[in-house]
Structure 1
Amino acid sequence: MAGKTMKPRSAANAERGAETVSERVLRECHRLYDHDAAGTGLIDIASKLDLHLLPPRKKINVMLMGNHSAGKSSFINWYVEEHIQRTGVAIETQGFTFVTSGRKRESLTGNATLHLYPHFKPLQQIEGVSEYLSTEISTSKQKKFSLVTFIDTPGLVDGDMKYPFDVDQAILWLGELCELVLVFFDPMGQALCKRTLNIVEKLNETQGEKIRFYLSKADEAGSECDRQRVMMQIVQELCKRPGLNKCGFDMPTIYIPHPNKPSRCVNQIEEVCRTIEKTISQTVQNTLNQLERDCELIHSTVDSRLQEDSLTSVRNRKAQSKGCVLGFLGLLVPAFLLVSLVLGNLSQEMISSLLGDNGTEMLQVYTSPVATFWSMVPSDLVCYVFLTLCVLSMLLIGIAKLSFRTCRTLTRKQKRQLLEQQEFVREVVKVKKRQLYTEYLRQSVGEHDMV
């Protein structure tokens, strides 16, 4: 695929613009979620509430796929304006290459790539794929590259071509994690590669809104009639697949512009750039909206925790009151039995000698219900009644003991921490989110429309 004259790395590296609003918004949102020493990141706060939050990404992931020699690597080089990826008619890309921006030009492979992209770590579950992962870090600031990570996939071919890993499964898995999937069809090569069409069909079942189709190398397809014929063949083949027969099927023609090789073919490569920019814009909005939802989730969870703790405290007090009453009744029965034993075994003369006349008279007044009760019990049932009262006493004391087993409640320190976290989310995070949203809107619509 013919390429535009690229700038030397030193020149591309020198062209560093100021941080864009979108970059700043995504970076600040990520910082609000990130762990810190004070434990004030949203992830730390959420974990204390048994909530699991995912930090937003600082960049969007754009996966390029297509048949071998479809121009995926050439497009990345053109977008970044650096010769990062090798290009040619041979199958140059045999693994997955992550092309991203950074502070210094560097190449990483294998585990280093997975360490740099922890959300892609499950990819290593596919046997053999870890050895075919690499990362190219560029300092280029061209276009929107600072907000994009390109994922260059292996060229797909039919026939007896053997891949060192399950390439179909790997592409499908990556497609779920990317914000955008660009499918390139090469009119001079295997544009109707069945492997490509099969993967696109499967990917479309769940990620159809992310997929964009392009006829690459359009300037090499011959005349306008030849291009139209190729496009018709591709579209017809795609429309035969269930789920891909959409109305208004769109496939822009693109090619890498070359100053020494003018072409009359309409080049819609800037449409790809606009699609990437729209995806970035949508990602920024989604990130801000997710930040708002996560703040509301934390706020409502704290309210629920405090409300539940208040209800638990009320239930505990009721249980303790019930336990006190049952415990009192359980102790009252042994007292009743003790009085009965005393009255039954001591004579009137002995009681009078011990308590005197006034004491004896008072004891008779207070114990008259006990005497009345036992007078009503037949003599042959006294033993059974006595045992029944003993069992009742033990039962009441046992129930009282169970009632005192209250639920755990929050300490004052824990309540204070919850309220402080809620206040931090309300007064710091949500205020910051509103500032970022206002800043982003000013960039998008202009200050005169914000009035």
Structure 2
Amino acid sequence: MSGRMSQRGGDAAFEGSLTPNEKILRDVHQLYVDEDNGLVNIARSFAIDLLAPRKKITVLLIGNHSAGKSSFINWYIEEHILKTGVAIETQGFTFVTSGRKRESLQGNASLHLNPYFKPLQEIPGVIENLSTEISTSRNKKFTLVNFLDTPGLTDGDMKYGFDVDQAILWLGKIADLIFVFFDPIGQALCKRTLNIVEELSEIRPERMRFYLSKADEAGPESDRQKVLIQIAQELCKRPSLNKAGFEMPTIYVPGPNTKSTRCVNQIEDVCKDIEKTINLTIQNTLDQLDKDCDIILDQVQHKLDKDGEVKSRNSSANFRAYFLWTLSFLPLVLWGSCALDAFLTKKTIVTVIPLDYYTMIEKIYLIPTRSMISNVIADYNLMAACVAVCIVLFLLGAFIGRSKPTLKRKQIKDLNNKRNFILENVKPKKDKYYQFYLKQCVSHHDN
């Protein structure tokens, strides 16, 4: 019992520690993946594939070896979770994410934790070189960020256990931010790095950020400017990177061993860029939620409208079919009425209807009908034609009267329940999240 109470207490404590933005992204994600009324399941019933939004943004870090990628992650989360050094420490992909417990995962376990990256299995060797580090850190905006540290890139005979270029390019397509670290120690112009950067710039130019890392080790200001110019010149030789407004802030990880330098450290601007992307992701997530709700509502209305059209069409078809069937059976009805009159005596009929009415019916209907039937029966060709016409009319009625399937009452009720759920639950929650988010923005701006 005490174990259950402590678990509940831990859940309550964790719930209370969540930031407003975390709650928004988590709750929106839950609206999609809920087993009973999740938007993903609802959309699947209409043959629509929806992707649940991620609860965190993904920041991909690339650069040559010893460019400071791992050091930056350690500094951001304020925990020494990744190895750093001059040697090539990172030879695989490492996810760094936040959680309730410090843990390390390998291979397939990493993919179960990050199902968005399962297509990486298609690249031979990646799974064996994939790991995840879960940290309990809640510093800065780490709870809303997944960092993805990549192998240090080098030229020459360096061998990787997988196609590193293909893997980085695929990850670049789904990353929310791509940080490119150029170090000033002679490896900044690594051709492999520049080639990958050029290809990524063609795919996701708006998500790319360039930084001169370890700027405090570049020497005097004049040397640092030379390095920046050399890198900028090399980048601008490539068409997709030759653009106006190119920026490369200088950053370095501050610490007790940091050399004394006059270099401006813009590493806090990196944090602001991450925060800005988180805010933009929240807006995009709420906008996408609204669009996905509208898509489902349109599908529900389309199905109901189509069902109404089919029912209307079936009613018209049934009317035409009944009319044709009536015409096909009309000779039998006429013959039957005359046969009935022949079996019953006039005296018997008069006891049911007045004599005047019977005389009028006989004059207007019975006498002409008897004459017509006798003429048809007397002429076999005419009788065959009459039978043929009746058969054709009957078959034509059967053809025209074919009914298309319509929705059953249970299906209509299910569609209405889905529509009401979105209108009465999902849409109001989306509006509430948006108002809550905007309220945060305004209060933060006022402060």
Q: Which residue of 1 aligns with 2:235?
A: 238
1:321 aligns with 2:299: no
SS of the residue 1:107 aligns to: strand
Give the distance between the partners of 1:48 and 1:200, measured in 2 at CA: 41
Counterpart selection for 1:276 from 257, 274, 298: 274
Amino acid of the structure 2 residue aligned with 1:272: V
SS in 1 for 2:37: coil
Distance 1:367 1:54 in 2: 78
What does 1:408-447 correspond to in 2, within 5 Å? Answer: 408-446=405-443
Structure 1 counterpart of 2:253, from 256, 267, 272: 256
Identity %: 55
- Looking at structure 1, the residues matched to 242 and 366 of structure 2 have their Cα atoms a distance apart, in angstroms, of 96
Pick aligned residue for 2:264 from 263, 266, 279: 266
Deviations 1:364-394 (A, max 9, x none): 843625744875x8x9xx4444333333322
How much has 1:30 moved relative to structure 2? 1.0
| Structure 1 partner of 2:366 | 366
Residue correspondence of structure 1 range 132-281 to structure 2 within 5 A: 132-261=129-258, 262-281=260-279
**CA 1:219–1:394: 2 relative to 1, 3 Å:** same
Q: What is the distance in 1 between the residues matched to 2:54 and 2:445?
A: 31
| TM-score (norm. length: structure 1) | 0.86
- Between 1:427-436 and 1:331-340, the stretch displaced more is 331-340
Per-residue deviation, 1:424? 1.9
Corresponding residue of 1:303: 301
Could you say what secondary structure the match of 2:240 adopts? coil
Q: Is the 8 A contact 1:216 1:253 kept in 2?
A: yes
Matched residue pairs, number?
422
Q: Corresponding residue for 1:24?
A: 23
Q: Distance in 2 between matches of 1:216 and 1:15?
A: 35
Structure with the bigger RCO (C-alpha within 8 Å, sep 6+) is: 1
Give the SS at the match of 1:113. Answer: helix
SS of 1:68's partner is coil
**Partner Cα distance (1:197, 1:384) in 2:** 93
The reply on whether 1:330 has 2:328 as its aligned counterpart is yes
Q: Within 2, Cα distance between the matches of 1:333 and 1:132?
A: 86
Per the TM alignment, residue 24 of structure 1 is displaced from its structure 2 partner at its CA by 1.1
Q: Which runs of 5+ in 1 are unaligned?
A: 1-13, 343-350
SS of 1:243 mapped into structure 2: helix
CA contact (8 A) 1:17 1:141 kept: no
Normalising by structure 2, what TM-score? 0.87
Residue by residue over 1:292-331, the C-alpha shift from the partner in whole angstroms, topping out at 9 and shown as x without a partner, is: 1122222232222222222221111111111111222222
**Equivalent residue for 2:125, pick from 104, 117, 128:** 128
Summarize the Cα distance change of 1:223–1:311 in structure 2 as closer, same or farther, 3 Å threshold.
Answer: same
Check whether the contact 1:113–1:133 (CA below 8 A) recurs between aligned residues.
Answer: yes
Contact 2:59 2:146 (8 Å CA) reproduced: yes
1-structure distance, mates of 2:233, 2:269 = 23
Matched residues in 2 for 1:430 and 1:308: separation?
Answer: 25
Instruction: Tell me if structure 1 keeps the 8 A contact 2:334–2:369.
Output: no
Question: Aligned equivalents of 1:149 and 1:211: distance in 2?
Answer: 16
Residue 326 of structure 1 aligns to a residue whose secondary structure is: helix
1:9 matched residue in structure 2: none
In the alignment, the residues of structure 2 paired with residue 34 and residue 323 of structure 1 have an alpha-carbon distance, to the nearest angstrom, of 48
- C-alpha separation between the residues in 2 aligned to 1:186 and 1:333? 99
What CA deviation, in whole Å up to 9, does each residue of 1:265-285 have, x standing for no partner?
Answer: 111111111111111010011
Q: After superposition, give the CA deviation of every residue in 1:204-252 in whole Å (9 maximum; x if it has no partner).
A: 1121111100011111111111111111111111111111111011000
Structure 2 counterpart of 1:92: 89
Q: Could you list the runs of 5+ residues in structure 2 that have no partner in the other structure? A: 1-12, 350-357
Change (3 A) 1:238 1:436: same
Which is further off, 365-374 or 117-126? 365-374
Aligned equivalent of 2:6: none
SS of aligned partner of 1:93:
coil
Deviations 1:157-209 (A, max 9, x none): 11222222111111111111110000011110311111111111111112111
Secondary structure class of the residue paired with 2:405: coil
User: Cα 1:370–1:231, aligned 2, differ >3 Å: closer, same or farther?
Assistant: farther
Aligned residue in 1 for 2:9: none
Q: Distance in 2 between matches of 1:15 and 1:232?
A: 48
Using the TM superposition, name which of 306-315 and 100-109 deviates more.
306-315
The answer (yes or no) to whether the contact 1:192–1:234 under 8 Å persists in 2 is yes
Match of 2:8 in 1: none
Q: CA distance change for structure 1 residues 424 and 356 in 2, over 3 Å: closer, same or farther?
A: closer
**2:60 aligned to 60, 63, 70, which one?**
63
What is the letter of the counterpart of residue 221 of structure 2?
E
